Structure formats: structure tokens, C-alpha cells
């Protein structure tokens, strides 16, 4: 078990409360323009579109006045020189936060088979961003065994600054996982990953494609025959956020904020946030 090297409150203060995840595909620019200047966005990285697409999108988003966190997939980075090159590129744009994922590529392109290997090289780099985030999976992962994920998370915790949870549709698994991690000694700030406002059909197909865990069943139930006629065709995370409320803003054993998977559907998500009583849209001091 790793001890954590961070003062929790100090680390939490560095992490803005609400993050918006964007996909670097058609529609991203329009989506970004629907956010307030200074909002924090993260940009995904897929084997299909490659690292370059993510970096170009990140650069465009900085120009558009947003605070940007690119996802860097370890399996798409060739070697140390490639890593240093991309870090230099981030420094040049004033990007000081990155999210390190293993990446869904079947085989690593180079020397980094998983996120941990990249984090280890980052540790020694003078170009390391101030903040580095890593993912976690409250409902497990469809290809990776839970003990392995846990072991890696514990090793990563000493090398990272914050954690973001995988897309989840129910509060209970998130809260239980958070409690479990706190008991195991996780001291990093954690962002709760939630879907934004999005067509239920699209959300369901993405969740099934990504192999998102048991809480997708609740989405399926809601998308069932009855709901098709009686319920809204658009998913809104109201119930989820309501159930998470008591844990939000709790750096020790709760969540420092939300990470909203927007799938580039920003306008309805923003409207929803503006209707909430809790000012989740306002960036926290950092
Ligand atoms: N593209 C993106 O923006 C995002 C992608 N993800 C995806 O979630 C998955 C996990 O990523 P990380 O948590 O960073 O994991 P990771 O790459 O750090 O791997 C965790 C552990 O699982 C093993 N592992 C990785 N892929 C595996 C596979 N397909 N089968 C069996 N074992 C495997 C690794 O060797 C390592 O020990 C990846 O597929 C990642 O791409 C998660 C969040 C965002
Ligand atoms: N395992 C895993 N891989 C990921 O890439 C990932 C996660 N989990 N969890 C959270 C988010 C969700 N991600 C997503 C979600 C949807 C698309 C997506 O719709 N991509 C398509 C558009 C639809 C299509 O034509 O297939 C694309 O063109 O990239 C991509 C990444 C990225 N993140």
C-alpha cells in the first residue's frame, strides 16, 4: 500500500470543481464555444484518431480561451523522446495539467504498456506538468481485473495528483468505491465522473461500447419500453448528482468535484448546470 505524498487540501485547491470532457471529433469546436471562457475541458485520446488529434484539439482549445487537460494514452507514446516532445508542446501552450490513460490500443506502439510506465518516466522529467491525473473504475473494467486495477492505482497514487472515475450512472457504486479507497489510504483528490445531458440512446450505445459496468443496467431499465413512452428521451444526471451531493466538496472521503462526460453535447449540459442551485459551473479558485 502506498502512502500518499500530498496534502489533500492543498492538492484539492489546485483542482477546479467541474471539468468537461470533450471528444476531438466533428462538433468539438462548436461544443467548446458553448462553455464560458476559462472553463476547464479535457480532451480524450483514442487509438482511432491518435495522439496528434488530441494535441491539435488541445492547442485549438487553449486559443479559444479554455483551460485544457489533454488525455495522453501511454500506449500511443513511442519512447522517452516522443514523451519529451509532447511535453514541450504542452509547455509551449501553457498547458500544465494532463490526464494519463493506458489507452485502448490493442498493442503498445512503443515502450509504455500502461499508464504506470509513463508516469514513472514523467516523474523524472523537468517538463512534468504541475498536475497529472489518472483514471479509476468504481464498477470495474471489462478487460482488466479489479485487483490489477487496484494495485496499479496504488502505485500510480504516488506519481499522480488527482483521480477521475469512469463514467457511472448511479451514486451508490461511486460512494462505496470512494469509501473503500479512503479506507485503503487513497489521499488523492477524486473527481466523480458523470454523464452530462445527452440522448439516452446515444449514452446507452456509448456505455455498451465502452463496457461500462453494472450501472448501465439502470440506464437500460430506464430506456425500456415503458420509459420510451412515458419518460424523457434525454438523460439528465439530476438524481445522480442529488445522491452525490453530500459527498461533493469533501476532499478526504468524498469528491472534489465533477468530471462531466459531455460527448460534445455541451449546450444542454450547460443549461442544466445553470439551473442547479449549487453553483457547479463556477470554477473554483486555483
Ligand atoms: N481514451 C481516454 O481518454 C480514456 C481511456 N480510458 C481507458 O480505460 C482503460 C484503462 O486505462 P488505465 O486505467 O489507464 O489502465 P492502465 O493502462 O494503467 O492499465 C492498468 C493495468 O491493466 C493492464 N491492462 C491494460 N489494458 C489491458 C487489457 N486490455 N487487458 C488486460 N490488462 C490490461 C495494464 O498492464 C496495467 O497493469 C484503457 O483502456 C484506457 O484507454 C479511460 C479513461 C479515458
Ligand atoms: N475504455 C475507455 N476508453 C475511452 O476512450 C474512454 C473511457 N473508457 N471512458 C470515458 C471516456 C468516454 N470516451 C469516449 C466516448 C465516446 C466516443 C465516441 O463516440 N467516439 C467516436 C464517435 C462515434 C463513432 O463513430 O464511433 C469517434 O469517432 O471517436 C469516444 C470516446 C473516452 N473515454
Report the nearest-CA residue for atom 36 of ligand 1. Answer: 114
Structural domain boundaries enclosing 270: 8-199+236-275
Contact call for residues 163 and 204 (beta carbons, < 8 A): no
| Span from the CA of 205 to the centroid of ligand 2 (angstroms) | 10
Q: Is 285 within a domain?
A: no
Report the nearest-CA residue for atom 20 of ligand 1. Answer: 149
Q: Is 251 within a domain?
A: yes
Q: Is 218 within a domain?
A: no
Q: How many CA atoms lie within 13 A of 207 on its CB side?
A: 27
User: CATH number, domain at 154?
Assistant: 3.20.20.220
**pLDDT for the residue 275:** 86
> Strands, DSSP E only, in 142-263?
162-165, 190-195, 198-199, 234-235, 257-261
Q: Is 269 within a domain?
A: yes
Low-confidence stretches of the chain (pLDDT < 50) are 1-15, 283-286
Q: Is 227 within a domain?
A: no
Task: Given the cut 0.90, state whether the ipTM is greater than it.
Answer: yes
Distance CA 35, CA 5 (A): 34
| Span from the CA of 206 to the centroid of ligand 2 (angstroms) | 7
Q: Environment class of residue 268 by beta-carbon count within 10 Å: exposed (0-12), middle (13-18) or buried (19+)?
A: middle
Domain count, the chain: 1
Q: Is 228 within a domain?
A: no
| Span from the CA of 140 to the centroid of ligand 2 (angstroms) | 17
Distance CA 181, CA 176 (A): 9
Can you tell me which atom of ligand 2 is nearest the CA of 135? 9
Amino acid at each position: 500500500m502506498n502512502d500518499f505524498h500530498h496534502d489533500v487540501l492543498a492538492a484539492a485547491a489546485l483542482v477546479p470543481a467541474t471539468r468537461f470532457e470533450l471528444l476531438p471529433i466533428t462538433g468539438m469546436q462548436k461544443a467548446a464555444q458553448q462553455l464560458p471562457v476559462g472553463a476547464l475541458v479535457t480532451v480524450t485520446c483514442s487509438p482511432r484518431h491518435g495522439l496528434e488529434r488530441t494535441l491539435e484539439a488541445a492547442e485549438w482549445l487553449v486559443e479559444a480561451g479554455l483551460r485544457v487537460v489533454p488525455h495522453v494514452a501511454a500506449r500511443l507514446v513511442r519512447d522517452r523522446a516522443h514523451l519529451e516532445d509532447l511535453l514541450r508542446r504542452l509547455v509551449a501552450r501553457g498547458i500544465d495539467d494532463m490526464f494519463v490513460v493506458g489507452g485502448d490500443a490493442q498493442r503498445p506502439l512503443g515502450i509504455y504498456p500502461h499508464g504506470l510506465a509513463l508516469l514513472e518516466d514523467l516523474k523524472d522529467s523537468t517538463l512534468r506538468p504541475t498536475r497529472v491525473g489518472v483514471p479509476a473504475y468504481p464498477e470495474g473494467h471489462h478487460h482488466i481485473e479489479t485487483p490489477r486495477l487496484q494495485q496499479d492505482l496504488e502505485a500510480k497514487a504516488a506519481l499522480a495528483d488527482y483521480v477521475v472515475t469512469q463514467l457511472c450512472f448511479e451514486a451508490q457504486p461511486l460512494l462505496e468505491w470512494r469509501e473503500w479507497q479512503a479506507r485503503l489510504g487513497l489521499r488523492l483528490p477524486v473527481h466523480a465522473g458523470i454523464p452530462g445531458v445527452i440522448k439516452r440512446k446515444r449514452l446507452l450505445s456509448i456505455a455498451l461500447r465502452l463496457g461500462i459496468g453494472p450501472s448501465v443496467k439502470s440506464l437500460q431499465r430506464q430506456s425500456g419500453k415503458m420509459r420510451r413512452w412515458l419518460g424523457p428521451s434525454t438523460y439528465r444526471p439530476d438524481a445522480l448528482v442529488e445522491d452525490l451531493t453530500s459527498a461533493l466538496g469533501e476532499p478526504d472521503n468524498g469528491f472534489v468535484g465533477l468530471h462531466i462526460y459531455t460527448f460534445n453535447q455541451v449546450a444542454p449540459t450547460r443549461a442544466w448546470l445553470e439551473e442547479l442551485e449549487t453553483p457547479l459551473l463556477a470554477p473554483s479558485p486555483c
